[in-house]
Structures are given as structure tokens and as C-alpha cells.
A and B are shown apart, each in its own frame.
Chain A
């Protein structure tokens, strides 16, 4: 049973527009959420995170929103750039030493 779900396998956005990547989770014990970006033939790299005590975290062009009641988070990229084209993984964990649980990823293509 997938505890972290990314239901959109792919997303295509025009350069300069907003990209919105969605993630749902089922485990109510999750209290820390992360987004990773992965380019082909490279390992995932950390992008941004959010703790469950917050509902928004912003870092430059990247903003993550958390809706705990809906068990939903989203990553907004504004404005989108061609270099943002990659696979984005949502991940979650419970506080302490529990392992990260990853979603299946969403492939973002930003078209110039």
C-alpha cells in the first residue's frame, strides 16, 4: 500500500508559468515532508522541506504547501525554467529515525 502517492506521472508546463506538483499521503504519523529533484543518471537532490507545524515554506522560486487535514502537499515552482525539467519525488517521515517514504515521482517538462 502506497503511503505517499504522486498521482500524476508527468506534467508539462510552459517556461515562465507556474508548475504545481501534488502529493498525497495516508499515514497520519508523518510529520516531515520533503521534495527531491532527480536528473537522468544522477541521484536525487534535496529541494525543499516542510514540518507539520507549518503550512507553507518558501525558498526562492520554490514553495511547498501542506494541508494536514487533507493529507496533501504541493510544490509550486514560479516561474518555471527549462532547467527545472526533472523528476520530482515527494517523501515523508515520522519524527525521529524512521526512514523516508518516497512517492513514485512526477516528471516535469518545462517547455521553452
Chain B
């Protein structure tokens, strides 16, 4: 079974530039998560999708971050414009259901460096 796929794996951009990350979850997983992991910290949830619907985006900085999951499968997370403080690893995860007891499977992440 293929795991969660993310691309690109690494991205270096200058501040004020836009950037987008792509995630393909495990087949059949209805719930998709985007996390941000700053250096030396644990992952922090940015947004959670149930199929196409964003059901928890309270931690998403909506002035510059946006996300979509149009067909309830793949998802894209965008930052526009990027700031120096956005440098982090962006992790995508998926699970069969949304309850806390459903195991979340993580992708390898996209390491973003903003110069």
C-alpha cells in the first residue's frame, strides 16, 4: 500500500514569493491534515479536511495561507506571500476517519526555506 505522498520534498524561495505544496493521501482515507513543524518543535495542526470540507482551520493564518481539497482526494496548501517565519517542514497526514482514535499516517513532509 502506498503511503502519503508529498511534493516537493524541499523548496527554497525568497520572501514575498508564493509557494505551494501538494499532498496525495492514502487511498480510501477521507480525512486529511496539514501540519507545520518548526525546528525543534512538534507538529502543529494547520487544517483538517473531511472529504472536501475544511472542518478545522482555526490555526491556519488565513491572511497568507490557503488550502483546498477539491475532489476530496489530493490537497494543496499555498502560502502567498511567504515570510521568513514560514520556514518549517509542512507535513500532510491522512486517516480513515476523523476521530482521535484513528491512526494518522504522515507523509515525509516538504521542507520550506524562506530567504
List residues of chain A with CB within 8 A of the CB of B7: none
The complex places the Cα of A32 from the Cα of B43 at a distance, in Å, of 17
> Interface SS of chain A: helix, strand, loop or mixed?
loop
Q: Please report the total number of B residues contacting A with Cβ < 8 Å.
A: 23
Q: Are the CB atoms of B100 and A96 closer together than 8 Å?
A: yes
How many angstroms from the CA of A19 to the CA of B44 in the assembled complex? 26
Is A27 in contact with chain B by the CB < 8 A criterion? no
Q: Mark out the residues of chain A between 21 and 67 whose CB falls within 8 Å of any chain B CB in the assembled complex.
A: 32, 36, 41-46, 49
Chain B nearest CB, measured from A11 CB (Å): 16
In the complex, number of A-B residue pairs with CB atoms less than 8 Å apart: 55
Least CB separation from B42: chain A residue: A102
A100 touching B41 in the complex, CB below 8 Å, given contacts A43-B4, A43-B91, A43-B93: no
- Could you tell me the distance between the alpha carbons of A45 and B44 in the complex, rounded to whole angstroms? 15
B42 A104 Cβ-Cβ under 8 A: yes
Per-position binary interface string of chain B over residues 96-115, scored 1 when its CB falls under 8 Å from any chain A CB and 0 otherwise: 00111101111111000000
A99 within 8 A of B: yes
Within the complex, which residue of A44, A94, A97, A105 is in contact with B55, where a contact is CB–CB below 8 Å?
Answer: A97
Interface-centre pick from A45, A93, A99 (highest chain B CB count, 10 A):
A99
Across the interface, A97 reaches (CB within 8 A) one of B42, B56, B109, namely B56
Question: Do the beta carbons of B104 and A100 come within 8 Å of each other?
Answer: yes
Q: Which of A43, A49, A96 has the most CB of B within 10 A?
A: A43
Contacts of B73 in A (CB 8 A): none
Q: Is A108 in the interface zone, CB < 8 Å from B?
A: no
Give B17-45 interface residues, CB cut-off 8 Å to A.
Answer: 40-45
Residues of chain B touching chain A, judged by Cβ–Cβ distance below 8 Å, are 4, 40-45, 48, 55-56, 91, 93, 98-101, 103-109
27 residue pairs of the A-B complex, CB under 8 angstroms, read: A4-B42, A32-B100, A32-B101, A41-B108, A43-B4, A43-B105, A43-B107, A44-B91, A44-B106, A45-B105, A93-B100, A95-B100, A96-B99, A97-B55, A97-B56, A97-B99, A97-B100, A98-B100, A99-B48, A100-B43, A100-B100, A102-B41, A102-B43, A102-B44, A104-B40, A105-B41, A105-B42
What 14 new A-B contacts, CB under 8 Å, besides A45-B105, A102-B42, A104-B42? A36-B106, A44-B91, A44-B106, A45-B106, A46-B104, A97-B56, A97-B98, A98-B100, A99-B45, A100-B43, A100-B100, A102-B43, A104-B40, A104-B41
